Amino acid sequence: MNDFLDDTSDFKLLTLKDLSYLLSYSDKGSVISWLDSMQIKLHNIGTRKNVVFRIDYEVALMTQKGIELKNKFPSNWRELLWFYTPNDKIMNLVCFQIEQKTIEFRKYKSIELKSEKEKKFLKGLSDE
């Protein structure tokens, strides 16, 4: 079972049974609830029913960890995340996911400028 997260493995799909082992859940219903909460879709591929792509599982776990690290260590969360992330592909996807969430959040945040100096500075940035 340890070869699930081994990057050299050809095993690209995880069944509900595999996920219950990896997540330490005792029943498939809990696994399905976790998949829903993480927005991971179940697939039917050929004869294989109710499987997920391994990369979706890994990115979901690492994104959770990345958000946690970003909240605790905003200046160097990426460097810390490298210790947890299995490879460059996963790291890039996780950073993209986290930045997308940040961008979506910032769309709705309004900033009140307090001085003329701040207004001039912001105008200078937007003119470039």
pLDDT tops 70 at residue 58: yes
Euclidean distance between CA atoms 42 and 35, whole angstroms: 8
pLDDT at 62: 92
Instruction: Please give the helix or strand (H or E) that residue 9 lies within, else none.
Output: none
Note the helical H segments in the chain. 16-23, 28-37, 54-72, 77-81, 88-107, 116-127
pTM of the model: 0.66
pLDDT at 126: 65
pLDDT at 104: 45
Radius of gyration of the chain (CA): 20
The domain ranges of the chain are 2-107
Q: Which residue has the higher pLDDT, 89 or 128?
A: 89
Local confidence band at 17 (pLDDT 50, 70, 90 cut-offs): very high
